């Protein structure tokens, strides 16, 4: 999937909503963790918009339990209808993906097992020529600028797109998020960034001006999957007006 230009992804838990998303969205983010039988839904999908598959775990704001989560995402990455797959950065820490010297170093095995080995998803996606989005979400706040830069840089180094979402408590947090967005985009990295929460809500239409390549929005505002999301029609209008 090509993220050379901004992509508005409509977040859905039911692929039947894709038809309603077409008017404003460029893709659908299928939240597998919100669907009853996500793999069957992907097999049956005949929509027009490309699919970004996400199977968000409970430890990063989703509803997927660890049992079978990674295997389902591996299968999704190899499904014809899936153009991109989202893998949590935390599931790659300490995995073979980061074990460049082969000594097994990094986070202890128990922690990796608890989170699931995201490296399996990356490998499956690359074999299938499926774009990878490596993501990090902080629902508690916004880390210091140096930590934001480090996290986004690591995500970019592992995936085709590095995604960073934080929770802004004030305008300073929003400014820090926009700063790292600009710096990594200017350096040629493909990034997707947003600050969640009311104080960061404006970053969703503003971040694309600083280089963010993906915006996420529900078709209807009541179906928001993260704090501060605009509905797809509003986000499309705001991004277009600012440009």
Residue spans per domain, the chain: 7-242
The tens digit of pLDDT for each residue in 139-157 reads 999 999 999 999 999 999 9
pLDDT for 49 beyond 90? yes
- Cite the active site residues: 137, 163
31 is in an annotated binding site: yes
126 is in an annotated binding site: no
Contacts of 156 by beta carbon, 8 Å cutoff, 6+ apart: 134, 162, 184, 189, 190, 191
Please report the pLDDT score of residue 104 as a whole number. 40
22 is in an annotated binding site: no
Q: What is the pTM (predicted TM-score) of this model?
A: 0.90
The tens digit of pLDDT for each residue in 89-123 reads 999 975 444 443 334 444 444 344 446 589 999 99
Please report the pLDDT score of residue 52 as a whole number. 98
204 is in an annotated binding site: yes
From the list 51, 48, 62, 43, the residue with the least C-alpha distance to 19 is 48
Please report the pLDDT score of residue 108 as a whole number. 42
From the list 203, 157, 159, 158, the residue with the least C-alpha distance to 181 is 203
The tens digit of pLDDT for each residue in 160-193 reads 999 999 999 999 999 999 999 999 999 999 999 9
Q: Pairing relation of β-strands 27-31 and 7-12?
A: parallel
237 is in an annotated binding site: no
The tens digit of pLDDT for each residue in 189-235 reads 999 999 999 999 999 999 999 999 999 999 997 777 777 899 999 99
pLDDT band at 65 (very low <50, low <70, confident <90, very high): confident
Please report the pLDDT score of residue 111 as a whole number. 42
CATH of domain 7-242: 3.20.20.70
Please report the pLDDT score of residue 222 as a whole number. 79
User: What is the three-class DSSP state of 51?
Assistant: strand
Please report the pLDDT score of residue 94 as a whole number. 53
């Amino acid at each position: 999937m090509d993220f050379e230009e901004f992509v508005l992804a409509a977040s859905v838990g039911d692929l039947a909503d894709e038809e309603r998303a077409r008017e404003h969205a460029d893709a659908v983010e299928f939240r597998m963790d919100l669907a009853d039988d996500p793999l069957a839904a992907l097999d049956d999908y005949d929509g027009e918009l490309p699919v970004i598959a996400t199977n968000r775990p409970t430890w990063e704001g989703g509803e997927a339990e660890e049992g079978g989560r990674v295997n389902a995402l591996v299968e999704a990455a190899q499904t014809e209808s899936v153009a991109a797959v989202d893998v949590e950065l935390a599931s790659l820490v300490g995995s073979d993906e980061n074990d460049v010297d082969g000594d097994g170093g990094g986070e202890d095995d128990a922690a990796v097992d608890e989170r699931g080995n995201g490296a399996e998803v990356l490998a499956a996606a690359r074999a299938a020529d499926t774009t990878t989005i490596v993501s990090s979400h902080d629902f508690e706040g916004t880390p210091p600028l140096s930590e934001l830069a480090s996290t986004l840089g690591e995500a970019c180094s592992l995936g085709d797109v590095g995604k960073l979402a934080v929770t802004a408590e004030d305008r300073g947090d929003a400014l820090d998020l926009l700063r790292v967005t600009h710096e990594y985009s200017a350096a040629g990295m493909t990034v997707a960034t947003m600050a969640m929460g009311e104080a960061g809500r404006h970053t969703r239409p503003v971040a694309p001006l600083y280089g963010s390549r993906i915006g996420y929005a529900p078709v209807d505002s009541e179906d928001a999957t993260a704090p501060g999301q605009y509905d797809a029609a509003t986000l499309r209008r705001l991004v277009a007006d600012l440009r």
